[in-house]
Amino acid sequence: MICKIVKELEDLTTFICLRNPFINNDVLQTLATHCKKLTRLEIGGLQNDYSDDITLEGIESLGLFKKPAGLKKIKIEYCTKVGDQAIHFISKRFYHCLEELSIVRNYYEKAARISDEAFAYL
């Protein structure tokens, strides 16, 4: 349902959908394919219901955004599969425009690792 709506919003500049367990890789790919003016992306699952539906593959689909336009603000909450590799990809792909990156997670032993090294990329 979200993908169907997003496809119609070509001039969308801000997408905020936090605390939503239905956000997944397909939504990210649809945003990157259809919403070329997007500058702010805030997505996430629930604090007590860890989302594993957003993975490195979904983050990499954001690479479909063309330069020089790009994401200035990215916020990702409670997505257990977002770790070092995703942060590295974001920093490499959006280095020219990214102004703010926020990743919020609770400690969870099965979550993708986020190390100090990941932040060295920024």
pLDDT tens-place string over residues 37-57? 999 999 998 887 777 899 999
What is the pLDDT, as a whole number, of residue 70?
Answer: 81
Residue of 78, 93, 92, 84 lying closest to 119 (CA atoms): 84
User: pLDDT band at 34, cuts 50/70/90?
Assistant: very high
pTM, two decimal places: 0.89
Give yes or no for a contact between 41 and 31, defined as CB atoms under 8 angstroms apart.
yes
